[in-house]
Chain A
């Protein structure tokens, strides 16, 4: 009797465990015959709410699931029609009239100009909704829908980047009913959108599942589902790619990218990147009301010293040694050469080449004399040129960069010591409190460089209380400000590009930031799974993390094989875990039964 009970208990336990394992299996099991692309990302979604999300992974998901007024053209990256099918500008450049396309939300309701009106007005009026794209509507006077199809935006001042608006248009009928914008996590599945995909499942820090939107106005994408799977670190994601748990991963660093060289199943996607890596130099940080803040070294206020530092850096060696050659040395400023319209390249007189002798000469002439220990002092002889270099902890690439800079600066009589800071402290000291001399930094630039240029405006400096901000340099320069206002108002693209180039020239020669290199866009995907994909721009472009939805819209994949073979995909791990759990449970139950039997036998005697 007892024996029977134990056996029954063990059996029910095993069934229970199997029951627990089953849903875990269902999550990953790709249905046979479906075309599914699984993308690995190492950044977790910060919010599914498009008014709040700032990370690349979140804004990418939003780009794929919501419509925008315009989308960068897949060839030229210039604004082209998306939800707005056409537009006109008044002569004074202040009134923009957009004609909204006849499209449908994924729940079947029509997309109207009222939806766009609601979206922009929300960002303009609700403070909580400004988090993601507040600056994009700063220049808006009013937004009104004059009828179902017509949206009128009145601007305070002419704005050239009006067509590059980064705000996803949300369905009014859903969001009005959802209540408080700031508290809305937007996780009611499926999430109603008008982009090529619809989010049908989302688990925080685990995955997001997107289904092709059959009612999408351009037509349904080629694949059925797109899964975005989160990994804690790049190593784990690479292992997942190798095993076939995921099909595609973007935004890689050089060492991880190189580790997959020679794998026949993997395509190594190496194209010009949208990022610029630069040094941020504390040239006398000030708050927004021009009060000095922080403890930057006084020598760095001298543009000559910054120029000398620039001469002392061998950018080509940095690319070879620190980035394994997978980057472009920066003979320009903060806009990478990928954006050929806006990229400015230093030439002739302007060009600061690697030349330690020249750097020494500049410093000698400016009165920074070398002491007996080979370290220079300020012209007044009071303070040595001993600088600090702030980098992040756990970043081998930045660590190596620091070793090189230390070596080169030593040659020109400047001592550099490295400070490793965790990222929140790093942001605080380099963006708000000014407690640094030189810091590593970088920016992923959009097709329109206005955003990155605006990070060097006077108005982006923080308040004394450490609020506001967003400055990348504490820069505040009359000439730069003037040019910025000029480019805002210049509606001719060619003319505007010229002004933007002048701004970069100013940054390059005045050197509040020194661009080091433009890292390549490094991605990997499995060629046995993904059969075709179009990057943006189409010529040598980006797959994941670029602008627009072209790559995920055009991607085509092999259909998932029938059930049994599907184990080769993502289901194998939970499957194995389930089996192990079952074996352990059965084994434990067996031991239990055996013991029970023995004790029964003992009792009988």
Chain B
């Protein structure tokens, strides 16, 4: 039994990989992501964090790209390349974790609201609607300000403000899944709420969750950069924080393009990569989009 299930899963995975590989944009995004994550993970091994300490900076202020500083220096003479590398860790971490948080909240709320359709589901949906209409950025700013700086508080601030769309999406899918006859059959055989939600609904909405989460990592990274730029940063070097620094210290007026472009392009590249991957996943996992000739 388990052997056949395993074999089935393997073939499904192989088919998924075959489909995904055919999506050129998805592969490009995936490659960019792998490179970015590898660099972020390897940064502590290949660089010295002492270079981030302003009191140990060796370069001139706002010096242009050179052999020693391939991406120039900032207002305190620190290497922009080093800061971009270390910043990627914080930006990616916050992006992943807050997307994960928003996925967990959104999925649980969505499935619960779709499964219990009485007053409980209605209340959940009204709460969702409330979060949907709240201006997300303002709410995250306020949360960040109240909870104080720090990576975990920023994750929390972004996570709890961005789950509402996921919840709506998952609820719709849950309704569709629960309308299928085998759910009724399983109910007749005595399946409880928990069993139906975890064994039948969750596996069926999982592909959607995956695609959605990939997309929301992208928006979470943008949200982190926006918050950091607006001053509600985590206090650590991040891409948004770098942009903020370049603005505060007049990089544009002094012509220090490297200071603005380096973190800016990193954000663009990673966000685009996540979006490409998310779209590709959607195309592969959604039977309606699958096999459409391109």
Which residues of A are in contact with B by a Cβ distance under 8 Å? 255, 259, 314, 317, 321, 393-394, 396, 399-400, 403-404, 406-408, 410-411, 417-420, 422
A400 touches B76 (CB 8 A): yes
Q: What does the 1/0 interface line of B234-253 toward A look like (CB < 8 Å)? A: 01000000000100111001
Given A394-B231, A419-B148, A420-B149, residue A404 in contact with residue B55 (CB < 8 A): yes
B75 at the A interface (CB under 8 A):
yes
B76 contact set on A, CB distance < 8 A: 321, 400, 403
Find chain A residues with CB under 8 A from B149 CB: 418-420
B54 at the interface (CB under 8 A from A): yes
Given known A-B contacts A419-B148, A420-B149, A420-B231, A399 and B54 have beta carbons under 8 A apart:
no
Q: In the complex, which range does the number of interface residues on chain B fall in?
A: 10 to 19
Taking CB as reference atom, which chain B residue is nearest A324?
B61
Does B56 interact with chain A (Cβ within 8 Å)?
A: yes
Q: Which of B55, B61, B249 contacts A408 (CB 8 A)?
A: B55
12 interchain pairs (CB within 8 A)? A255-B249, A259-B250, A317-B55, A394-B231, A396-B248, A396-B249, A400-B54, A403-B54, A407-B54, A417-B235, A418-B235, A419-B149
Q: Which residue of A lies closest to B253 (CB)?
A: A259
**Does any Cβ of A come within 8 Å of B53's Cβ?**
yes
The CB with the most chain A CB atoms within 10 A, among B54, B75, B148, is that of B54
Which of A314, A321, A418, A422: most chain B CB closer than 10 A?
A321
The answer to whether B54 and A410 have CB atoms under 8 Å apart is: no
Assuming the A-B contacts A255-B249, A399-B248, are A407 and B231 also in contact, with contact meaning beta carbons closer than 8 angstroms in the complex?
no
Asked whether B250 lies within 8 Å of A255 as measured between CB atoms, the reply is: yes
Chain B 138-163, CB within 8 Å of chain A: the 1/0 string? 00000001001100000000000000
Cα A600 to Cα B75 with chains together (Å): 66
- B54 CB to closest chain A CB (Å) equals 4
B250 / chain A contacts, CB cutoff of 8 Å: 255, 259
Known: A400-B76, A403-B53, A420-B231. 4 other contacts (CB 8 A): A321-B61, A394-B231, A396-B249, A404-B54
A400 and B55 contact, CB distance less than 8 A:
no
Chain B residues with CB under 8 A of A420 = 149, 231
Q: Report, nearest first, the 6 A-B pairs whose CB atoms are least far apart.
A: A407-B55, A396-B248, A407-B53, A403-B54, A404-B54, A393-B231
Are the CB atoms of A410 and B231 closer together than 8 Å?
Answer: no
Chain A residue with minimal CB distance to B61? A321
Complex Cα–Cα for A54 and B75 (A): 35
Task: Please measure, in the bound complex, the distance between the C-alpha atom of A255 and the C-alpha atom of B253, giving whole angstroms.
Answer: 11
Query: Complex: how many Å from CA A103 to CA B149?
Result: 59
A407 pairs with B253, CB closer than 8 A: no
List of B residues within 8 angstroms of A394 by Cβ: 231
Q: Is the CB of A400 within 8 A of B75?
A: yes
Q: Which residues of A contact B231 (CB under 8 A)?
A: 393-394, 420
Residues on the B chain within 8 Å of A393, using CB:
231
Q: Are A407 and B75 in contact (CB under 8 A)?
A: no
| Separation of A407 and B76 alpha carbons in the complex (Å) | 13
Do A407 and B56 have beta carbons less than 8 Å apart? yes
A314→B231 CA distance, assembly (Å): 27
Select from chain A the residue with minimum beta-carbon distance to B149. A420
In chain A, what residue has the closest Cβ to B56? A407
Nearest B residue to A255 by beta-carbon distance?
A: B250
- Docked Cα-Cα span, A545 to B248, in Å, equals 25
Q: Within the assembled complex, what's the spacing in Å between the Cα atoms of A259 and B75?
A: 14
How far does the Cβ of A363 sit from chain B's closest Cβ, in whole Å? 18
Which residues of B lie under 8 Å from residue A419 when comparing CB positions? 148-149
In angstroms, Cα B250 to Cα A259, docked, is 8
Contact of B54 among A321, A411, A422 (CB under 8 A): A321
Contact indicator per residue, chain B 217-241, by CB within 8 Å of chain A (1) or not (0): 0000000000000010001000000
CA distance A400 to B56 in the complex (A): 14
Nearest A residue (CB) for B248 = A396
Which parts of B237-291 form the interface with A (CB within 8 Å)? 245, 248-250, 253
Give the distance to chain A from B149, nearest Cβ to Cβ, in Å.
7
Residues in B neighbouring A314, C-beta threshold 8 A? 55
Bound Cα distance from A317 to B53, whole angstroms: 14
**Cα A58 to Cα B231 with chains together (Å):** 30
Query: Which residues of chain A are near B145, meaning CB under 8 Å?
Result: 422
A396 to B249: give the CA distance in the assembly, Å: 8
**Complex: A417 Cα to B56 Cα, angstroms:** 18
Chain B residues near A403 (CB-CB < 8 A): 53-54, 76
Q: How far is the CA of A335 from the CA of B248 in the complex (A)?
A: 29
Contacts of B245 in A (CB 8 A): 396
Taking the closest CB of chain B, its distance from the CB of A404, in whole angstroms, is 5
Taken together as a complex, chains A and B put the C-alpha atoms of A393 and B248 apart, in Å, by: 12
